[in-house]
Amino acid sequence: MAKGTNDAQLLIQSLRKAYASTPTSLKIIDLYVVYAVATALIQVAYMAMVGSFPFNSFLSGVLSCVGTAVLAVCLRIQVNKDNKEFKDLPPERAFADFVLCNLVLHLVIMNFLG
């Protein structure tokens, strides 16, 4: 048991160390993802409290948070310099795709919000 907690501590330390070495731009994207997921969780908790009556509004709210999180993760994948598959993709193109996809997502959200 002690070995288990020791291992867990070691694990968390090494994770923290490895993560600290990622560039700042990627950390900003990660922060954005965490914020989006947190907003989604808050919405789910709110729905659990007050009920889901305009279900389409709930759905569009949660899915918009999840959607932007997913798109931010895709952006991070494409912009990450350690990723060999996207070596020749200029980051401006990746960001432009990200903006376009977000535009479509939010257009749909606005329509579905009711």
Partner 1 sequence: MATSKVEGSSSLRHAFGGVLSVFILFLIGVVAFSIRLFSVIKYESVIHEFDPYFNYRVTQFLSKNGIYDFWNWFDDRTWYPLGRVIGGTVYPGLTLTAGTMWKLANSLNIPLSVETVCVFTAPIFSAFAAWATYLLTKEVKGPGAGITAAAILAMVPSYISRSVAGSYDNEAVAIFALIFTFYLYIKTLNTGSLFYATLNSLAYFYMVCSWGGYTFIINLIPMHVLLCIVTGRYSSRLYIAYAPLVVLGTLLAALVPVVGFNAVMTSEHFGSFLVFIIIHVVALVYYIKGILTPRLFKVATTLVLTVGIAVCAVVVAILVALVASSPTKGWSGRSLSLLDPTYASKYIPIIASVSEHQPPTWPSYFMDINVLAFLVPAGIVACFLPLSDASSFAVLYLVTSVYFSGVMVRLMLVLAPAACIMSGIALSEAFGVLTRSMKFHITKYFECSHTEAPAKLGESTSTESSAPLENMTKSDTTEKPEVARKEKVARRKQKKEKELTENAHVKPVSAKKERRPLVLPLEASIVSVFLLIVLGGLYVLHCVWAAAEAYSAPSIVLTSHSHDGLHVFDDFREAYAWLRHNTEVDDKVASWWDYGYQTTAMANRTVIVDNNTWNNTHIATVGTAMSSPEKAAWEIFNSLDVKYVLVVFGGLVGYPSDDINKFLWMVRIGGGVFPHIKEADYLKDGQYRVDAQATHTMLNCLMYKLSYYRFVETDGKGFDRVRRYEIGKKHFKLTHFEEVFTTHHWMVRIYKLKPQKNRIRGKSRKSKLGSKSTSSKSGGMTHKNPWN
Tell me the C-alpha distance between 6 and 72, whole Å. 34
Which ranges of the chain would DSSP assign to H, the alpha helix?
A: 2-20, 24-50, 55-79, 91-113
For residue 42, state whether it binds partner 1 (rule: CB under 8 A). Answer: no
List the end-to-end C-alpha distance of the chain, in Å, as a whole number. 53
Binder of partner 1 out of 11, 31, 34, 42 (CB under 8 A): 11
CB 67 within 8 A of CB 43: no
Binder of partner 1 out of 18, 45, 48, 49 (CB under 8 A): 18
**Binding interface with partner 1 (CB under 8 A):** 4, 7-8, 10-11, 14-15, 18-19, 55-56, 59-60, 63, 66-67, 70-71, 73-75, 77-78, 82-83, 85-86, 88-89, 94, 97-98, 100-101, 104-105, 108-109, 111-112
